[in-house]
C-alpha cells in the first residue's frame, strides 16, 4: 500500500481542523524527505517544497521518528554529521539531540520550536508502520498562531492520527476512511 495515499485523507483532516501547513515525511539517514505537503491557506504560513530535505535534528518530523529509535541508533545515524545552526535554537550535537528526544518520548510527540526557521513552530508524531518505522506527520505554523495550548492540542491529535495511519500501514485496519 502506498503510504502517501493512505495518509492523505488524514492530512486533509488535520489541515481542515487546524488551518496550518501539514507535512508527511520520511526519515532517510540524517535527513527528512517530504512526501506530501498541504500548505495553509493563511497569508502568513510555513511553506515546504517536496523537493526539500531538512536535517532531522532541526525538525519535528525528524525528531519524532528519531524518538522511536534507541540512543545508539541515533548516534550511528549522526556519527559523521556536522550539525548546522539553522537558527540560534538549533541543537548543535548528538548529545543535545538525544536530550530533546527524551522529552519527545515522554510526550509522545516532538516539537520544533524555532529550530529550523525563526518564528515557526512545528509539532510531529511518528507513525509506527512496522519494524523499521521512518514516517511521521506534522503540523506547522507561525508562533503567533501556534502557542503552547495549540501545541498540546496538536500533540494529542497527531498521536491519534499517527496511530490510525500506522494501523492502516501495518494492515491492522481496513483501508476505509473513518472520522477520528
Cite the DSSP H helix spans in the chain: 3-18, 60-66, 71-77, 94-107, 148-169
1 confidence band (pLDDT: 50, 70, 90): confident
In a domain, 175, yes or no: no
Can you give the residue range of the structural domain that contains 83?
3-169
Instruction: Look at the chain and report how many structural domains it folds into.
Output: 1
In 12-130, which ranges are E strands? 21-28, 31-38, 53-55, 110-113, 120-127
The answer to whether residue 150 is domain-embedded is yes
Residue 149 maps to a domain? yes
At 122-150, the pLDDT tens digits run 999 999 887 767 999 999 999 999 999 99
Cα-flanking dihedrals φ and ψ of residue 106, to 5°?
A: -65, -40
Residue 81 lies in a domain: yes
In a domain, 177, yes or no: no
Tens digits of per-residue pLDDT, 80-129? 999 999 999 999 999 999 999 999 999 999 999 999 999 999 999 999 88
Indicate whether 134 belongs to any domain.
yes
pLDDT on residue 45? 56
Q: What percentage of the chain reaches a pLDDT higher than 90?
A: 81
User: Is residue 176 assigned to a domain?
Assistant: no
Residue 180 lies in a domain: no
CA atoms in the 13 A half-sphere facing the CB of 134:
15
CATH number, domain containing residue 145? 3.30.450.40
Evaluate whether 61 touches 120 at the Cβ level (below 8 Å). Answer: no
Amino acid at each position: 500500500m502506498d503510504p502517501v495515499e493512505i495518509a492523505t485523507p488524514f492530512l486533509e483532516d488535520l489541515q481542515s481542523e487546524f488551518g496550518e501547513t501539514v507535512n508527511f515525511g520520511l526519515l532517510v539517514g540524517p535527513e527528512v524527505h517530504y512526501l506530501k505537503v498541504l500548505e495553509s491557506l493563511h497569508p502568513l504560513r510555513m511553506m515546504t517544497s517536496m523537493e526539500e530535505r531538512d536535517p532531522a535534528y532541526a525538525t519535528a518530523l525528524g525528531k519524532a521518528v528519531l524518538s522511536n529509535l534507541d540512543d545508539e541508533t541515533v548516534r550511528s545515524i549522526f556519527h559523521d554529521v556536522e550539525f548546522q545552526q539553522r537558527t540560534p535554537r538549533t541543537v548543535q550535537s548528538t548529545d543535545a539531540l538525544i536530550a530533546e528526544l527524551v522529552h519527545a518520548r515522554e510526550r509522545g510527540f516532538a516539537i520544533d520550536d524555532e529550530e529550523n526557521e525563526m518564528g515557526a513552530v512545528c509539532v510531529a508524531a511518528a507513525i509506527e508502520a512496522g519494524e523499521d518505522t521512518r514516517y511521521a506527520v506534522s503540523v506547522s505554523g507561525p508562533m503567533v498562531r501556534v502557542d503552547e495550548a495549540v501545541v498540546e492540542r496538536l500533540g494529542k491529535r497527531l498521536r491519534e492520527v499517527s496511530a490510525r495511519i500506522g494501523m492502516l500501514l501495518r494492515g491492522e485496519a481496513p483501508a476505509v476512511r473513518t472520522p477520528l
